[in-house]
Amino acid sequence: MLELLRIRVKNALTAEPAATLSTNGPGGIQAGFFPCQADDLTLYSLVPAASDVLYNLESEASVVVTTPGWQLEGQGRILPLTQAPPNIQLARSPRAAGCLLVAVTCQRIHFNWSEGWGYRETIDCNGG
């Protein structure tokens, strides 16, 4: 991945304090709007421990994360709060009680048009 594109993706992820995390699995299609924080090309969402989003992630890692500006396709994994990277303050916030983290590694991100529908740009995050 070119450094200029990497910076563009990092800036987009960093700019969002919350996003919709969607999963599919034994619990059917599940989506929730959760607080989030980025670290490089990984987005961490704070998800209540009883959420069906987590139930789905136990068997299917593919997720979609959506904001008004972009849609990210990636692989999610569940982490206890104690395994959060040091710079992920979300794991130590008062609202973290009773929650787990979902770390989503970006595979592809689609940037939306500011008006209208469809994507104006897609960046593949897997390349180098």
Cα–Cα distance list, 59 to 75, 93, 109, 118, 122 (Å): 12, 28, 23, 30, 27
**pLDDT higher than 50, residue 128:** no
Quick check: 124 pLDDT over 80?
yes
Instruction: For the domain covering 3-124, report its CATH number.
Output: 2.30.110.10
d(CA 104, CA 122): 17
Provide the residue ranges of all domains of the chain, joining segments of one domain with +: 3-124
This prediction's pTM: 0.92
Residue 87: half-sphere exposure toward Cβ, Cα within 13 Å = 7
Whole-angstrom distance, CA of residue 117 vs CA of residue 43: 24
pLDDT confidence band for 118 (50 / 70 / 90): low
Rounded Cα–Cα distance for residues 100 and 34 (Å): 11
Q: Give me 5's structure tokens.
A: 């594109």
19-32, pLDDT tens digit by residue?
A: 999 999 999 999 99
